Amino acid sequence: MHNKGWDDYLYFLKVANCGTIKGASQELGVNYSSVFRRINALEEKLEVRLFERLKSGYKLTQAGEDILDRVQQVEEHMDAIERLIQGKDVHLSGYLKISTTDTIGYYWLPPYIQRFKELYPDIIVDMDIKTRFTSLSKREADIVLPAVNNQPDYMVGKKLAPIHVHLYASSNYVQEHGAPKMPEDIFDHRILLPNESLAGLPANKWLRQHGDEEKTEACCDKLSGLYHLAVLGMGLTVLPHYLGRSDPRLVELMPLPEDCNHHIWILTHPDIRFTARVKAFMQFMYRETQGAYDASPPNDT
């Protein structure tokens, strides 16, 4: 299948996945009219209606449903070919896309990247901050550094360092309102909560269990956002220790239960694990964090 033909089906696949032309255009990085024209042209070429145009969005017709699985299989094969080619790259240069969370990317990883760049100046590190889990099979990134307790089976990598989660508040807040001594005391305090996008976070569940949601001051989809609100003295919140301990304006109040803790992993796809720049970064991170018993970043000095 030549590129233009595959591109038509790629547009079809994005609309099918997103359910709207707008969503597909954002995924593809093109304008709305380009996607609209491609879908219409594909339907004309195949002489069949692939989508029902509804007020709520685009819904697959039976014909669209019939070809969706085949198109998804083609996409998987195309991605596999690209990974295979990339995996033969032996040059210590070019872009290295690293996907990670906000707190790791903003507060833990940068000193490591600085050291890595001193060793490999021709590798350009492209850091991508995400809250959702990145798809390595779709080549959204070369390397992922998530905060998880277990890695997906299709990835390869290892644990780098533990993350201990604690309850924090600003020193100003503690001076004005006191500090909770036990989890039951949190009910009497103002709280800052992770929002529904972090609903599965054990620390979120713990804070909601012990706090009074009527005393919620604010919510955020990123822990780094809660950190900034806590520094302003707005209430108690849960943070990884490498973030909370980095700011003298915050007071560490109490550790959370063990099941609220995580690990920082470094993961890649098996097909590109021997790509020179991927291998270099992973081995560098293994060495730098070996024997580390906390997740504190390296000293900048």
pLDDT in tens, 214-271: 999 999 999 999 999 999 999 999 999 999 999 999 999 999 999 999 999 999 988 8
CA-to-CA dists, residue 98 to 70, 156, 225, 262, 278, angstroms: 30, 15, 21, 19, 10
Question: What CA–CA distance (Å, rounded) separates 109 from 111?
Answer: 6
All domains of the chain in start order, with CATH: 3-87 (1.10.10.10), 94-163+262-289 (3.40.190.10), 165-260 (3.40.190.10)
Question: What CA–CA distance (Å, rounded) separates 256 from 110?
Answer: 26
The beta strand positions in 164-215, using DSSP E, are 165-170, 191-194
Most confident of 94-98, 198-202, 246-250: 246-250
% residues pLDDT > 90 (the chain): 55
Q: 301 pLDDT band (50/70/90 cuts)?
A: very low
Of 17-21, 130-134, 242-246, minimum mean pLDDT range: 130-134
Q: Are strands 123-129 and 94-100 parallel, antiparallel or unpaired?
A: parallel
Of 64-68, 113-117, 139-143, 236-240, minimum mean pLDDT range: 139-143
**Residue at 226: amino acid letter:** L
For the range 64-70, what are the long-range contacts, defined as Cβ-Cβ under 8 Å and sequence gap of 24 or more? 64/12, 64/16, 67/12, 68/13, 68/16
Structure token pair of residue 113: 């990247």
Question: What CA–CA distance (Å, rounded) separates 41 from 32?
Answer: 14
CA-to-CA dists, residue 217 to 147, 151, 194, 222, 237, angstroms: 26, 34, 11, 15, 10
Structure token pair of residue 203: 């620390």
Summarize the confidence of residues 158-184 as an average pLDDT: 96
* 46 compared with 86, residue with greater pLDDT: 46
Question: What CA–CA distance (Å, rounded) separates 250 from 243?
Answer: 10
Question: What CA–CA distance (Å, rounded) separates 284 from 301?
Answer: 18
Query: How do the residues of the chain divide into helix, strand and coil, expressed in percent and rounded to 5?
Result: 50, 25, 30
- Assess whether pLDDT exceeds 80 at residue 132: no
DSSP letter for each residue of 66-106: HHHHHHHHHHHHHHHHHHHHHHT---S-EEEEEEE-HHIII
pTM score of the predicted model: 0.65
Q: Which residues in 244-267 are b (16+ Cβ under 10 Å) and which e?
A: bbeeeebbebeebeeebbbbbbbb
- Assess whether pLDDT exceeds 90 at residue 100: yes
